[in-house]
Amino acid sequence: MASVTDFHQISPSNLYDYSIDPTMGGTHGKQWVLLAAGSRGWTNYRHQANVCHAYQMVHRRGIPDEQIVVMMYDDIADSEKNPNPGEIINEPSGPNVYPGVLKDYTEDDVSAHNFLAVLRGDEAGVNKQTEGSRKVLKSDGNDTIFVYLSDHGGKGVFAFPRDCLYASDLICTINEMAEHQQFSKMVIYMESCCSGSLMEYLPKTTQVYGVSASNPHECHCACFYDEDRETFLAGEFTSCWLLHCSMSDLTRTTFQDQFLYLRQKVTQSTPCQYGNNELSKLMISEFLCPPDSTSRSELAVSAKPLKLTQLTPSTEVSLTIQKNRIQRETNPEKKRALQSEYDKLLQTRRSIEKTVLDIAHRACPDRGLRALSERRPLTRLEDMKDVAEHFKRTFTEWYVEQDDAFVLSQMHVLVSLIEAGVEVTRIKEAITHVHSERIP
């Protein structure tokens, strides 16, 4: 799949004339930013590149480093596959976005557990495997929080290298933070497949607003395939979001202005709003520009023409990368080895599909096939976590191989079984049984 979207500068402010409630105006508290890339590996280059670019944007806007937390595996800048060691780019021929990026949480410290601990300011709850401080958001009731996440996702789940973030845990953490007055307002941007399914239960009566790259059922797309690096540089949603920030005066641009821009420019998935939409009337500067910044309005620049190219569903990225490697390889022996790797990828995917089908049949013979095609709303969040965690522990090898996008794309089948009323114990028994039959 390959398609192109043109970026053209539009007037970012005054798209709508909002009357802002004075009680929602800027506070004199701190602005906290949490940026997290949930993946590792060269194939997933784009997620860490997204976060590096996002860091450069908020740092340039004047948010001090002590109020920014960055979580990324940090294995691509110096990867042997990087033709330009020490460099990470997020768009074709773009600037190096790696220099100066914070290394608060790297390698195995990048986890859903630590993400939630950082978000709620729980320094004691951080599980640190490497040296370094246990940096968390030390926010209070006067402060704003901006959160951005980028990685693979599925129905009710967002991937991290060693564990998963579930909708139930995200919503529970935010509710607890609101109850303990740990922020005045919070905004969450999430780029992943089915990202809407993690945010559709954000409380509408709390000062939390979320924007997802896709609705609860959709795949999200990667973009900018780089021939030299043999990987994708960015995600469609993030490219649009960061471009809009770069060409906007954030003191005169609301989150609603930006959302309307995203709905117009993101063509391969459907950005959605969740939580308290009243917060979309706020100026973005309330979260991403310190009030004492003298140059924040001058940072708005005219964006150069940019095209989103090679738009490819996340579930197809690893296959597309491997196909391109095969096509470029001229050495017959190496070409055969690459083809063998591609065939193994396809075989694994067929095995995953058959396994999920077998689980559905065993758990509920009457609706096994229907569960494959149904896209039921996720309402039983805790049950989903219970079943998905059992599936992950049982089929660990599929997650270790880092083809998370395809594995997570099958989570809707488990959701369909749960929402159809199949008992959790029965689904878990089916998972265990089907796995036991796969062992030689």
Q: Name the helix (H) or strand (E) containing 226.
A: strand 221-226
CA 315, 415, 147, 15: dihedral to nearest 10 degrees? 80
How many CA atoms are closer than 13 Å to the CA of 34, on its beta-carbon side? 26
Beta bridge partners of 70: 35
Return the SS3 of 172. Answer: helix
Asked if residues 353 and 137 have their Cβ atoms less than 8 Å apart, the reply is no
Q: Beta strand 5-7 with 306-308: parallel, antiparallel or unpaired?
A: antiparallel
- Best CA proximity match to 188, nearest among 61, 59, 275, 66: 275
Task: Reduce the secondary structure of 12-72 to three states and give it as a string.
Answer: CCCCCCCCCCHHHCCCCCCEEEEEEECCCCHHHHHHHHHHHHHHHHHHHCCCCHHHEEEEC
Looking at the DSSP bridge assignments, the partners of residue 201 are: none
Tokens of 230: 């043999």
CA distances from residue 392 to 253, 270, 357, 372 in whole angstroms, order as listed: 42, 28, 16, 19
Active site residues: 152, 193
Phi-psi map region of 181: left, alpha, beta (phi>0 left; psi -120 to 50 alpha): left
The single-letter DSSP state of residue 94 is P
What single-letter amino acid sits at 286? Answer: E
Q: Dmax of the chain from CA atoms?
A: 69
Residue 314 in contact with residue 159, Cβ under 8 Å?
A: no
CA 11 to chain centre: 27
Q: How many angstroms separate the CA atoms of 94 and 223, rounded? A: 14
- Scanning the structure block, which residue is given the tokens 């609301």? 254
**What is the DSSP secondary structure assignment for residue 111, as one 8-state letter?**
S
Q: What is the dihedral of CA 286, 288, 292, 294, to 10 degrees?
A: -120
The answer for residues whose C-beta is within 8 angstroms of residue 340's C-beta and 6 or more apart is none
